[in-house]
Amino acid sequence: MEQKLQTYNNDLQVQEIKLDKAIQKFLERQNYEHYDIQKVDIETNEDIDFIKISHISYDRNQSQADLNLIDFQQLLSAVASKSKKFVYMIESSSDGIDLYIGTTKEPDNNTFLKDTFEGIYSGSTLLDDKKREPFLNNMKHSKAMLGIPALKRDSDKEYKQSLEKILFPMQGKTFRIVLVAQSYDLSTIQDIISNYQTLGSELHRFVKQSRNEQESHADSQGITLTEGSSISNTKGESQSQTSSTSTSSSDSTTHTSSGFRAIFEKTPFTSNRTSTTSTSSSESNSKTTSTNQSRTNSTNESTSSNKNNTKTDTLGITFDEINKSAEYCENLIDTYIERFQKGLNHGMWNSSLYIQAENESVLSELEHTLKSVYSGDESYYESIRFSKNMIENKDIKIEKLPMLYFDKDIKHPVHPSFVGFSSALNTEELSILSALPNNDVEGLSVSKISSFGLTQSKNIDKYKSIMSLEKITK
């Protein structure tokens, strides 16, 4: 029978939250793509200088594997060390594509970026043409990408995420891809690693717990006998005797006579004589005799016999209980620590990628194409997904190269920059997003040349001079 949770407010919805599930939710940044576009905080990056890449030259002997990314990672590491910001942009139209890279408008930054690119990709052509600035075409519909790109299987044999994998399905269509990346400083990366380690230590106790279950059976038998006897005799006697004697006697005599006194007086007289005799005698005798005799005999005999027979059977089992959800989160934290440790050497970036198109159908097609190209074997840690259409917020202008963050009331326990339409990527992952083509695409040519030493050009000039002298002498 289902029991309902009683609350003091019937309108309050109560949801049970498990700690490991909550940790997994913010590690994977679940549902970030559904955040309300109207509530974002906007930070712009307007002071950016762009360089257009018109031709790319590769070493003829270079393989088609993912080792090609190492060259571009070298470029990103140099930018992370010097200017701290990197912008990559593709504009596509029916006339072909324009590929731009850029960095902050500070002294020598633009020259540094151009020289570094030409040094890594010797023979390439970059144009610093202010008349060909990007964002000349206004595109109404746009979305932001979230997630971590990863290499596909067998990329060490054949690289399958080059730029033409995106451009060929979208050939002739008008769209724009904008990547804005700002590098973390070294201390911030170390703090993020430390926060992940602390979180992992707290989570580890939920991963594996030992439990011990025992079953015990006991039989007990006892006998107790008690015998008692009591005798009581009581004898009592009482005697009482009382004797009383009383005697009383009374005698009374009265004489009356009348006559005359003596002759001489000749006076008449009256004579009264009274005689009373009273005798009283009383005798009382009391005799009381009391005899009380008591006799009590008590005999109590107790016999106790206790016999215990105890038999105990104990069955115990000890086993480890593993929380698979917590274990997954622990592995996820270990992966994030490894990713940021790579950033200590080559750089770590807070990256925002935006896509734009003139209509929603092209935007949707570009969204699914990028998801299929950028998703690799380890993208499940934070899958590639896109926000809602940002046309609803007129304040978001992609040409200002914004970084979009959520409301400040939303906190992330590892680092504040993780809460927004951006992703923390190391240099290896960022190089996947800023892919270069391996073959010619419309608007951008690709060639492969043999590698020469730095003094090769002088030797060629010397050889040409010798040949000219030989022709003159002839």
- d(CA 367, CA 360) in angstroms, rounded, equals 10
Mapped onto helix, strand or coil, the DSSP state of residue 299 is coil
Q: How confident is the model at residue 51 (pLDDT cuts 50, 70, 90)?
A: very high
Of 419, 423, 413, which Cα lies nearest the Cα of 199?
413
101 with 179: CB under 8 angstroms? Answer: no
Q: Can you spell out the DSSP letters for 322-388?
A: E-HHHHHHHHHHHHHHHHHHHHHHH-EEEEEEEEEESSHHHHHHHHHHHHHHH--TTGGGS--EE--
Nearest to 414 by CA among 189, 205, 185, 210: 189
Q: Output the pLDDT for position 463.
A: 43
Return the bridge partners of 353, or none: 145, 179
For 199-214, how does the pLDDT look when each residue is reduced to its tens digit (9 = 90+)? 999 888 888 777 777 7
Q: State the pLDDT confidence band at 410, using cuts at 50, 70 and 90.
A: confident
Residue-level pLDDT at 393: 92
Which DSSP letter does residue 219 get? E
* Contact residues for 406 (Cβ-Cβ < 8 A; gap 6+): 32, 35, 39, 40, 41, 419, 420
Chain center to CA of 80: 32
As a whole number of angstroms, the distance between CA 179 and CA 18 comes to 36
Q: Give the CA dihedral 110, 70, 135, 349, nearest 10 degrees.
A: -80
Q: Tell me: the pLDDT tens digits for 362-402?
A: 999 999 999 999 998 887 789 999 999 999 899 999 999 99
% of the chain surpassing 70 pLDDT:
67
State how far the alpha carbon of 241 is from the alpha carbons of 237, 283, 284, 286, 358, in Å.
14, 15, 12, 6, 143
Closest CA to 215 of 331, 313, 85: 313
Contacts within 8 Å (CB) and 24+ apart, 328-332? 328/24, 329/20, 329/23, 329/24, 329/27, 329/203, 330/200, 330/203, 330/204, 330/207, 332/24, 332/27, 332/28, 332/381
Q: What is the pLDDT of residue 64?
A: 67
Domain boundaries, the chain: 19-207+324-460, 231-297
Could you report the per-residue pLDDT of 231-282, keeping only the tens digit for each? 555 555 555 555 555 555 555 444 444 444 433 344 444 445 545 455 555 5
> What average pLDDT does range 446-451 have in this prediction?
81
- Written as six digits, the tokens of 184 are 């973390």
Are 465 and 472 in contact, with CB atoms under 8 Å apart? no
Local confidence band at 147 (pLDDT 50, 70, 90 cut-offs): very high
Residue pair 29/418 in contact by the 8 Å Cβ criterion: yes
> Measuring CA to CA, which residue among 174, 181, 187 is closest to residue 149?
181
Which tokens sit at 381? 């840690």
